[in-house]
Structure 1
Amino acid sequence: MPTPLTHDDPHAFGPYRPVVRLGSGGMGTVYLARSRGGRTVAVKTMHAGIASDPAARSRFRLEADAARVIGGQHGAGVVDADTRAATPWIATEYVLGPPLDEAVRTAGPLPETTVRALGAALCGALGRLHGSEVVHRDLKPSNILVTAYGPKVIDFGIARAVGDDRLTSVGAAVGTPAFMSPEQASGEDPTWPSDVFALAGVLVFAATGRAPFGQGQPADLLYRVRYGEPDLNGVPDALVPLLGRCLDKNPFRRPSTSELAAELHDGNGEFAEHLPDPVLQEIARRATEVWQITPQRLAAPRQPDPEAKAVPAARPARRRLLLAGGGLAVGAAAVGAGAWAWNRRTAPEPEPPAPGPSNSRLPKKKLDSLWQLQVADPPYGTVPPAQPLAVGNLVSVVAGKGLGGIDAASGTVRWTSDRMEIHWQVATDGDRLVRMVAPPGSDGNAGKPGGFPLLLASVDLDSGKATDPFARLTDFNGVITQNQVLCTADGVVYAAAGAGKYDDYFLASQSWSVFAVDIGTGRKLWTKPLPPRPDRTDRLHFLAAHVVGDSLVALQETDDGKVRAVVRDTRTGSVRWERPLDGVVPRRVQLPMATDAQHLYVGTGRLQALRLSDGTRVWDSQVRRPGRTYGPPTVKGGVVYAVEKGLGLVAFEPGDGRPLWEERGGGGADADLSASPVIGTDHAYSRRASALWAVDLATRTPTASYRTTGDRFLAQEKARVTLALGGRFLAAFPLK
């Protein structure tokens, strides 16, 4: 619906004068504009404040380039642009037709002939993009305009060339959740099959009036997109198998745009002949209405009384906001086992964790876990991700309102806590659970001058309650959220903490240290300084840490987002050696570390082994297997295991990196590179799409698969189970 111009809207964009606003959002505004000769165009702008960001301006320029690539037949042809102006703008033809979502609201679900013609035409549009190695990444009904001559694809704000990651954060899911592909929802780099998945969702919407994965909160939609089955009720019978292939979770099984176009439509007839009368009438109405619009501009608002004083709104501290968020997360799951986890099931097919589509006409798949629990997100967010901890016969996880202890063999919830534990402030050595404890009186009083002492306590594994603190450290501020428990081993806990004023983020005025405390005596064994963090940073100092012999092996994140391996003497805290890990992305190493008595093994791209004694790189996969990509490794029984992209599980000799064997059978082509493999006695377990595959270590071939929502995996040796956490489920699978 057009709205009047505001008093401060620009008066011209090159030769085009704005007439009315067509829409506005957080990034910019779209105007209807005309040239002096009467040419009508749509002008998309970027807010000047956002345009001051070079990356945002580059995105805007790339959007114009992508619009030019698709051209006037399949998109709104670019007429003019100035992406270097103070307020960058792009002028395109004014398309005479409604967005697809409005067309469906006007005419109802479209008939099969219309859906087929629409799909074939959109295949042509995407094929043109993909031929230029551009992926749209946000195809949805509101980005498709229906004209009498065919659909036009618009809004290339997040489109980019395949493999160009300069303007996108690694691991960030961008797009619209209801029409996003599973790989895109997982933060992976989308390629053309992602657009095919989105196109199938658009066609389901056109045929039924609803998205294939329902509606709701973004987190719920992302979950269903990654693990749920699409709802194809109402889709014409002949289209169900075809669209089901396009909606396959595995991108390699989706058809290409040319294959899809051939199965959708034979190309006969004009596009308008396939449109229902209400849509044609709406196109005609818009073609007439555009010439009846007259320029409108609102007057400037009256100036406020200079004597009046504005009262600033109070901004709750980030700590309180996070606590409130934790409460909301628990509210969604506070049924059954206290206020931590709910809906425990041992049946093979669970209920979905949130309302979603049902009665799918595609075959339903079963989750075949030994047991599973539905859990809420941890109270302090999911960055870094919460990891399951194997302690005694339990698995412990921070979720919902706090820490929980579950019998790893049966899935019985033994105890839960409501103390709002922070998951990076809990650690275990396999027998003991240690955590930081909120100092008495600190709730809601994080800004007390001088702060509160830092308290460390063990957790009673029978009740889940913290015992009396074994350490009370007054030289640190115990309420700083970024304090960490790194790990514990041999009766010593290793931690990092700050001193100084509390704030929502790190402060440059804070001083930081890494230190060791004897659990038996509470005595601090040593303290070593850490570099200060810049103001407003919230990245933790440590990504992972582990004790090997007399070495504290750690991966630390630097201020510029790089990763360094740092090895300290556990007796003194002195740094034995440190070195940068080039090309390693911080979020991909927030996992249990792969070490043995001699080496630290690091994956995520290249696979390499660093000697623990001096940091020398002993071997590098790029030497023996150049150009190959690996996920994070696992070492067990004198063998290093890692998943190789496009191949599957590979075993290496730890001393020299010589490949010992490769997975056979071709089942590892879509193996996930984000999770470390879990190694049992006879089998290795590796994630592929939405399943956990078991690979026989003797034959090197897959023997079983288990449907799972998990993306973090852990071997619980005492209970002989593989634990999977992710998608708001904790589940157990065999460990053989």
Structure 2
Amino acid sequence: MRVFEPLQESDPQQVGHYRILARLGSGGMGVVYLGRSRAGRAVAVKVVNAALAGDPEFRLRFAREVALARTVSGFFTAGVIDADMEGSPPWLATAYVAGLSLEEIIEEYGPWPETSVRTLGAGLAEALESIHTAGVVHRDLKPANVLLAPDGPRVIDFGISLAVGGARLTRTDALIGTPGFMSPEQVVGDPVGPPGDVFCLGAVLVYAATGTGPFGTGSAQSLWYRIANLEPTLDALPAGLRAVVAQCLDKRPERRPTTEALLGELAGPDTARGSVTELFADTAWLPENVVDALRAGTARPLPATPAPTPSVPGDDPVRPAAATVPRAEAEPTRARVGPKPPGSPADTDPEAVPEPGEPPRNPVSEVTTDSSGAEPQDTGASAVPRPAAPDSQDTRPPEKAPFATESSGLRTPPTQPRSGEAGDGEDPGDAVTSRRRGVSRRQALIALRVLGVATLGFAGWRLFGDGDGDGDDDGRGERSGGPVGSPSPLPSTPGSLRWSFTTGEFVSSSPAVVGGVVYCGSGDNKLYAIDAATGRRLWEFTTRDKVFSSPAVADGIVYVGSGDRNLYAIEAATGRQRWAFTTGGWVRSSPAVDDGTVYIGSGDKNLHAVDLVTGRQRWRYSTGAEVNSSPAVADGTVYVGDDDGRLHAVDAATGRRRWTFTTTPRRVRSTPAVEDGTVYVSSYDKHLYAVDAATGKQRWTFPTGGRVPSSPKVVDGVVYLGSIDRNVYAIDAATGNRRWAFTAGAELYSSPAIADGVLYIGDYAGRFYAIDLAAGRERWTYATGDKITSDPVVGIAEGTVYLSSYDTKIYALHV
């Protein structure tokens, strides 16, 4: 059973808002604590090893990967609920799972029967589907990273995941994964994608059914050799499991089943998509002796909250960020994660972490004027040799090629730096690596990623140098509270940068531009109002969770959803809250406003209609699945998709269903487009559908080569949309015939924006494209510092296209 280890004298008693109760585990990457929120909720808090926090490469990998990990949601995953990216050391908090690991259970109670293994596999397959949908590859799915609770498994530890199709930031001395539970592509150094996780899932199922992995036991070198060169041992598996596990363990990634196919194989044909949780409605899926162990474990009381001890001088009792944990030999009492003692290296090193005693560095208050916004792109490590045969005496893991970077190649001459700003040919707007040179300049966004310590993943963080003379100074020696910037002195050539605005986290919210103001949400829990001409921050509004929802503006009010389950109404002029409407789940959907009502979808499986003035619910329509699609309103009908692959038509006045159209059971997360009596909607089943708006009957369907999260746009009888297959399609709206296709450099999650004969769209590698609408040819491209999943918007009056990126920035480009 899990043992709560007592706190040591060097351990903090408080991390952020969480009171620390006990240790859960520790390792080379840091310490995991059991904590309690102010409301009494149990959480697992991970604090990073201070030595690793000084490694810039480690920080860079961590920031990018954890930004994605925070987007993972799903019943069978344990997600990040809080983090401090400015803390030193940084930390994050995740939901505490009061269960035991699969590794502990199998070691103590032995292998499971086939029915239990199948049900376990169904839950893990759905967890992986949630992870992959967020663009993440776990890369270390193993029995120790599967926690068991009576209501199902939880996949944990996304600290070493990679963005699908993104940069490969692999340490030169690290082979990420666990011997015996790694895929062949991991072992030999090939690119690792979702099929790699499917291989690991197969290995986990073999372990659950037999008590050992499919490649036996032994030294790491021996296991690596077997994984890369030999077939797995499956003779001990029940016959009913052998075929599906063998498919998972195929050495060719392209021949492994998808998580969707695995759900059908493991859960059975009678289990509807999205209803896998019904398998875990009671404990019948578990062996009887395991049920007793889990009940005993979950019934065990948590340690009592310790009495507070005196805090160290300078402690910030509210937000103890940007500091290190005092060493035991220097401070005998447990302390908060708080300030460094005077005279520490940060006092004199301009590259070190700022002290919390100075005004906090607001990560949203930086505007950079840049000629390209591009950053060096990671090429990743080259393939490593196949492992030597096990009789070799060399027990080292396969070598990795050195970390390498390359320029994007799209850079134009930088602007002349202002006094005290970036010089020596350095672009001040470079994302992630944009540290300005010289004394007293703001440090670049740097971050760390922590490989799994105990059970849960990490979240990214930022460090900033001192702020003297940076963009937050208003010229009078005072903090202005917002960025000071100016339009780029470059000629207004199409694709050149006007300004960029930096937030405190990744940005996947799409901007809205109304009345010369850009409104956009961020993963730092904030909604920003930015002057569209200058990039100056006008105000910011803080929610209690990430803002993925894109704002809608009507009659001087901004409406936006948040991960804290609320739909907010905010005054566009002042940033003050008018009201908040609470749903029963995460709000990723973007609001639609029509005729005195705002419509919003929610993770609570409902479409909500809310009065614009009072914030009170008018009606609620149940879809039966999570609603991450954004609704569209036309002719008195609200159209919205759900995560079971359905498109719903709902009466806007009464909330009654008019009809439901079902795609191949996959997610519908796009915003429907309604034009001339037809609803166009795309689906994760790799199709675009044209549906009769009155009857809900299909008119035609267009197949793509990949999932379609992109929302269609209809202009002059042509439907335009992007796809995971990297193509932008132009499709005849009447017939469904393709007119042209443009191939981007990476997957397309972004939806197109169209103006003046040009289509604008961003890809998953951070490239932003302007495409000729008639010919389907590229006009220009612009490179941001990270993936683009949000939709751009064109301000015709400003002659500007606005977009956001995971590199934490909102961009304004000349068109």
Normalising by structure 1, we get a TM-score of 0.43
Normalising by structure 2, we get a TM-score of 0.40
Q: Which has the higher helix share?
A: 1
* Bigger relative CO (Cα 8 Å, ≥ 6 apart): 2
Larger CA Rg, structure 1 vs 2: 1
